Amino acid sequence: MSGGQIIDDCLYTVGPDTPHVVTVSPGEVFSLCSPDASGNQLRPGVAYDAIDPARLFPVAGPVGIAGVGIGDAVGVAVVDVRPSSRGHVWTRPGLGFRNPGWLAVRVFNTETLSTGGANARTVPSRLHLGALGVLPARTAPPRTLGLHGGNLDVPFLGPGAMLWAPAAVPGGGVFCGDVHAAIGDGELCGTGIEVEAEVDLVATKLASWQLLQPVVMTNERCWVVGIGSNVEDAIASVLPVAITAVREALGESEDQAYLIASLMLEIKVCQLVNPLTSVAISLGAGLDRHLAPEAAWLAYQGLVPAPRDEECTK
- Taking the C-alpha atoms of residue 217 and residue 220, their distance in angstroms, rounded to an integer, is 8
Calpha distance 125→235 (Å, rounded): 26
Residues forming beta bridges with residue 76, ordered by sequence position: 163, 203
**Architecture per CATH, 6-206:** Sandwich (2.60)
Q: Would strands 149-150 and 86-91 be described as parallel, antiparallel, or unpaired?
A: unpaired
Distance of CA 236 to the CA centre of its chain: 20
Same CATH fold, 218-304 and 6-206? no
Q: At what angle do helices 231-250 and 254-264 cross, to 10 degrees?
A: 120
Of 48, 42, 61, 93, nearest in space to 195 by CA? 42
> For the stretch 222-250, what's the b/e string if a residue is b when 16 or more beta carbons lie within 10 angstroms of its beta carbon?
bbbbbbbeebeebbebbbebbbbbbbebe
Judged on CB neighbours under 10 Å (0-12, 13-18, 19+), 72 is buried
Give the list of residues 6+ apart from residue 108 with CB closer than 8 angstroms, or none: 86, 87, 88, 89, 114, 115, 123, 181, 182, 193
Buried b (16+ CB within 10 A) or exposed e, 46-59: eeeeebeeeebbbb
**pLDDT number for residue 212:** 93
Averaged pLDDT in 10-residue chunks for the chain of 314 residues: 67 96 96 95 93 94 97 98 97 94 96 95 97 97 95 97 98 98 97 97 96 96 97 97 97 98 97 94 97 96 68 37
Distance CA 78, CA 285 (A): 26
Q: In the prediction, which pLDDT does 308 show?
A: 45
Boundaries of every domain in the chain:
6-206, 218-304
- Predicted structure pTM score: 0.94
Dmax (CA) of the chain: 60
Helix (H) or strand (E) holding 242: helix 231-250
Cis (ω within 30 of 0) for the bond into 58?
no
CATH homologous superfamily, domain 218-304: Acetamidase/Formamidase-like domains (3.10.28.20)
Contact 314, 285 (CB under 8 A): yes
